[in-house]
Structure 1
Amino acid sequence: MRHTLAPARRIVRTGSSFRAGHLRVSFTAAAALALLVPLLMTAPNAAFPALAASISVLEDQVPQTLIDPDTAQVELGTTFSSSEDGTVSAVRFYKSVDNLGPHVVKLWSTDGQVLATATLPAAAAGTEGWQSVELPKPVAIAKDQSYIASYIAPAGRYSSENYGLAKSKSNGPLTLHADGGVYAYGDGTQMPSSRYKSTNYFVDVSFTPAPAEDPGTPGRPAAGGLPAGVSVRAVDGGSDYYAKFANALPTTADYFPVAVWYESLTDANDVGLDQAVGLNSYLELTPNSNAALATQAGMPAITTWDAPGRSGALLPDEVDMWAGPGSSAWSGKWPGEGPICVPENSRCGYTIQASQKAAAAPGSMIFANYGKGVTFWETDSEAARFVNEYPNVVSADNYWFTDPNICGVSEGGTLVFPQRVLSQDECRKAANYGWTIDRVRSLVSPAASKPVWAFIEVGHPFSEDDAPTITAAQIKAAVWSSLIHGARGIIYFNHNFGGGCVSQHVLRDACGAQIRPGVTALNAQIKSLAPVLNAPFLDGAATSAGEVELSVRVHEGSLYLFAAATASGSQRVDLSLKCSNATSAAVLGENRSVPVVNGVIADTFADGNAVHLYQLNGSNSCGL
């Protein structure tokens, strides 16, 4: 979890092509014997809800890494929720033989309030296994609300499992969230919020669902409600998030941001070309642009310069890479103009972001885009500061289909354990764009409190001619992976710096002829589904054993299932649904429908770029 940045070589910008600036080094525990150990607590009865028994999610699971070499005091936790009201009576954690106490456990609300705390006295050396620390009294928790359970390891040496919470884990109504493993170094007064590699720190709770009321009790419906493991989740920030800013982005349900990066507007024809391909927003305009053209066309613009009528202020691009995570003085210079930080070779990215944010007009929405520093090279706490302290909306650009360096050990290689160079099948796939969204969302604190937008390339964004060029099918798959993972906006990188057709206007000119029809159709699809994309998620309502990623949205009582392949090759997949009594589903954009048999859709995903969007017929069965 704790790791350092070791300088490798300075970042060099050539167009949009970047070279690695720092090598990310992580400390991982040596392999340990995963022997079954006696538990200090009897495994709970997981029956639900008949006996309202105490339940946990991890029960008697044993961590992959029993003893981490970290020896600093650290508070480790897990974010969790329940689909039913109930009480938490104890915090559980797995203790290694070297994780010496005393251990203080806490139950937190996600706004930083300690709801309960208790202490487990120092155990005798050699004690290992699950510890259950009873709280002074059971704490009532509300359904569909997030909480954090944590404990302090005063000398480190905790147990963990990298990527152990890459996906959520549930038992009955109780769910440990995906990317829900959190930590905080220090004196124990700070709520754990940093994250690293979706690590599971093996912290759990003992939860008792509230007794079911008599179905005849006034005010309680006799039927309905959400099945175990299913919960409603609003879009990040809430559907009206943008309304609180000056000259706000539209908050109507039919607006979903589809923006282009760094375009020029010199006459009305430019706007017409952009609207024809389905763009509705601009993220940065060239300084010679007539920003009034965007305003007149009803296309919001977010810019670094004080463009008339702009809908937000854009902070310097990828400052995490060229200035780094630090608070040294800023020389006022930009990349290519000389030393950026004072003293030279120090880091001043935080200083730059703070100064540029302060220069924005009061009430402005602040947007920041970051790069490989936030996604790969920096510690979670360093990256989280970039994400949380400066912007109101954030994005990161990882170009998985075209970047010649991204498969390397210090970049995409950080997705696997142990780190290594990714194979082409592992690296050049649409699902990694969803990973980038997950990575940035995992850094946002409080969780889900601000929108994350997705950056997708539409051509050949690197100067190396032998680097890959993205296809229309890959663009569509990358966009939908991002949307499935919760992106609240799409930004197209619209420039070719190599590949035989250099252009700054790929979606306008001849260089984009091959991809433009596909992108136009994709944007039309997004526009038609904007009310759905702005509607809540129904987490846990769809599952599959196939290599696909899924999300379910509920809009005006109808369920929409979005599914995308995560691996190359053709596969026949069963998609199992909850909260649906549908007998068929329309496959949007494909002019076909599929049967739904006992809550299951069977469909074929032809390759790694396959995406299917289903609208379930009829109303949902959960009263939504």
Structure 2
Amino acid sequence: MRFRLFFRLVPALLCLFFFLPSISAATQQRSASPAAFLSRPDVFPVGIWLQDPVNAAAFKSIGVNFYAGLWKGPTERQLRQLQKAEMAVFSPQNEEGLKATYNDIIAGWIMPDEPDNAQMQEGGGFGPPVPPEQVIRLYEQMKARDSSRPILLNLGQGVAWDGWYGRGTRSNHPEDYETYVKAGDILSFDIYPVTHRDSGVRGRLDYVARGVDRLLKWSGGTKPVWSVIEASRVSNAERMPDGEDVRRLVWLSIIHGARGIIYFVHQFSPRFVEASLLENDRLRQDITRINTRLQSLATVLNSDALPELVTVEPDAMTLPGSIVAISRRDECDLYIFAGSISRFPTAARFRLSEPVPADRADVLDEGRDVRLEKGQFKDEFGPYAVHLYKIPHGGANCPQTGK
């Protein structure tokens, strides 16, 4: 990811922290404010990466509910603009950000970006990644200044791709991440397979699902994982993700365990545009629909998983594990969110472990349904396809359904 906050600034930051006045853990100002979104079951985290707060209202209008990072900030101007837009932020930690004045919008802190990548050196070129132990020390220093808010650590594409040469001397060393994950309360990572420059990764949307799986594994499933999703050309002048690409990346991430999404919308080629999504009407409208669906399902997505509710049986020609499903319920409906990490078309049968009165399952956002018979149904999946099924289960206060 571009615009890194390089660790050569760390010694200066540590000196700054030593002289900062301590702050209390009081949270009254945050309890009914934008910063409180993480504690709300009716909100699914949808962020935007490192954007100018001047566009906060515009991003809010498409369903973004927090900023991830502030370029060379936080400054008073940036934070005041976010307050005006009532936009939460995961901010770098400095003297300005630690002021109680901003408790209403600062939901958490963000670590310097991608410490696992080779780091730019002052005299030019790149050195090795930041040692995990050094990243942990900075995390501990930030936590000592404010233990009341979570710290977000974003890692690079080595999370999903061992061969990422951008890690320099630590390429093909995934074991490093078992230590890196200790330096954050919320973990995220970025890899952009739609626009990727490497032919071995380009088009492989399964790398995003793999990265989520691995972060959950390395952290023992004890920390929320968020996925950074490409929503621009990034550095590829010839390829841009469309709305369906973004939808698949978002839902594959969630199906594999992500509890939040961050969009990356910078464009570097053929010309630099920081907020390129706001200039692309079609993609902006598609992402608005994606975000609207996420919020309509927020209480469902934030509810407890039901791992025993559904069994997935892929067809005989499909590798086991190629189709993954998660299950949830609310008062009236069961939900099965399923996605394929195969680059080939496939199909699967879904068997429910409990009886339901319905004979059809609605497929959300696709204008169709599938037949449900004897507690099971079958559906087809294109490459990296996702399907969101909604099945009435006949609660006491729900509309009656029948066969």
Q: TM-score, normalised by structure 2?
A: 0.75
2:314 to 524, 545, 550: 545
| Aligned residue in 1 for 2:354 | 579
1:383 to 169, 172, 177: 177
Deviation of the 1:296 alpha carbon:
4.4
| Aligned residue in 2 for 1:523 | 291
1:273 and 1:396 mapped to 2: Cα distance? 25
Query: 5 Å matches for 1:344-355?
Result: 348-355=131-138
Question: Is 1:430–1:608's contact at 8 Å kept on the other side of the alignment?
Answer: no
Question: Is 2:38–2:45's contact at 8 Å kept on the other side of the alignment?
Answer: no
Check if 1:502 corresponds to 2:272: yes
CA offsets per residue over residues 177-232 of structure 1, 9 Å max, x none? xxxxxxxxxxxxxxxxxxxxxxxxxxxxxxxxxxxxxxxxxxxxxxxxxxxxxxxx
Question: Is 2:115–2:130's contact at 8 Å kept on the other side of the alignment?
Answer: no
**Counterpart secondary structure, 1:319:** coil
| Aligned residue in 1 for 2:114 | 318
Question: Is 1:368–1:395's contact at 8 Å kept on the other side of the alignment?
Answer: yes
Q: Partner letter of residue 58 of structure 2? A: L
Deviation of the 1:561 alpha carbon:
0.5
1:250 to 38, 42, 66: 38
Identity in percent: 25
Question: Is 2:153–2:186's contact at 8 Å kept on the other side of the alignment?
Answer: yes
Check if 1:563 corresponds to 2:341: no
| Aligned residue in 2 for 1:438 | 213
2:363 and 2:2 mapped to 1: Cα distance? 43
Q: Partner letter of residue 521 of structure 1? A: R
Check if 1:372 corresponds to 2:141: no
Shift in alpha-carbon separation, 1:458–1:580, aligned structure 2, 3 A: farther
| Aligned residue in 1 for 2:47 | 259
**Counterpart secondary structure, 1:574:** strand
Shift in alpha-carbon separation, 1:14–1:521, aligned structure 2, 3 A: closer
1:487 to 251, 258, 263: 258
1:485 and 1:305 mapped to 2: Cα distance? 31
CA offsets per residue over residues 520-550 of structure 1, 9 Å max, x none? 1101000100011101222242312145332
**Counterpart secondary structure, 2:314:** coil
1:614 and 1:302 mapped to 2: Cα distance? 33
| Aligned residue in 2 for 1:452 | 225
Check if 1:604 corresponds to 2:380: yes
Q: Partner letter of residue 60 of structure 2? A: Q
| Aligned residue in 1 for 2:24 | none
| Aligned residue in 1 for 2:82 | 294
Shift in alpha-carbon separation, 1:381–1:265, aligned structure 2, 3 A: same
Q: Partner letter of residue 350 of structure 2? A: L
Deviation of the 1:617 alpha carbon:
1.2
Shift in alpha-carbon separation, 1:406–1:319, aligned structure 2, 3 A: farther
Deviation of the 1:449 alpha carbon:
1.0
| Aligned residue in 2 for 1:535 | 303
Query: 5 Å matches for 1:20-99?
Result: none
Q: Partner letter of residue 435 of structure 1? A: R
Deviation of the 1:358 alpha carbon:
0.6
Question: Is 1:254–1:527's contact at 8 Å kept on the other side of the alignment?
Answer: yes
1:337 to 118, 122, 135: 122
Shift in alpha-carbon separation, 1:352–1:609, aligned structure 2, 3 A: closer
Deviation of the 1:381 alpha carbon:
3.9
1:14 and 1:591 mapped to 2: Cα distance? 39
Q: Partner letter of residue 465 of structure 1? A: A
1:262 and 1:592 mapped to 2: Cα distance? 38
Question: Is 1:536–1:555's contact at 8 Å kept on the other side of the alignment?
Answer: no
2:368 to 580, 587, 592: 592
1:406 and 1:569 mapped to 2: Cα distance? 17
Give ranges in structure 1 of 5+ residues lacking alignment.
Answer: 1-12, 17-241, 324-334, 413-426
Deviation of the 1:577 alpha carbon:
2.2
| Aligned residue in 2 for 1:185 | none
Shift in alpha-carbon separation, 1:449–1:572, aligned structure 2, 3 A: closer
**Counterpart secondary structure, 1:602:** strand
2:56 to 271, 277, 282: 271
Question: Is 1:256–1:527's contact at 8 Å kept on the other side of the alignment?
Answer: yes
| Aligned residue in 1 for 2:193 | 400
**Counterpart secondary structure, 1:321:** coil
Question: Is 1:533–1:553's contact at 8 Å kept on the other side of the alignment?
Answer: yes
Higher helix share: 2
| Aligned residue in 2 for 1:97 | none
Shift in alpha-carbon separation, 1:536–1:348, aligned structure 2, 3 A: same
Q: Partner letter of residue 252 of structure 2? A: S
Shift in alpha-carbon separation, 1:337–1:527, aligned structure 2, 3 A: same
Question: Is 1:558–1:616's contact at 8 Å kept on the other side of the alignment?
Answer: yes
Question: Is 1:473–1:609's contact at 8 Å kept on the other side of the alignment?
Answer: no
**Counterpart secondary structure, 2:247:** helix
Give the structure with higher Rg (CA).
1
RMSD, aligned CA: 2.9
Deviation of the 1:356 alpha carbon:
5.2
**Counterpart secondary structure, 1:320:** coil
Deviation of the 1:394 alpha carbon:
0.5
Q: TM-score, normalised by structure 1?
A: 0.50
CA offsets per residue over residues 45-78 of structure 1, 9 Å max, x none? xxxxxxxxxxxxxxxxxxxxxxxxxxxxxxxxxx
Q: Which moved more, 1:471-480 or 1:372-381?
A: 372-381
| Aligned residue in 2 for 1:31 | none
CA offsets per residue over residues 265-290 of structure 1, 9 Å max, x none? 13xxx222112211111111233652
**Counterpart secondary structure, 1:250:** helix
Question: Is 1:255–1:530's contact at 8 Å kept on the other side of the alignment?
Answer: yes
Give ranges in structure 2 of 5+ residues lacking alignment.
Answer: 5-29, 163-170, 316-321, 396-403
1:282 to 60, 67, 74: 67
CA offsets per residue over residues 414-436 of structure 1, 9 Å max, x none? xxxxxxxxxxxxx5233331111
Q: Partner letter of residue 522 of structure 1? A: I
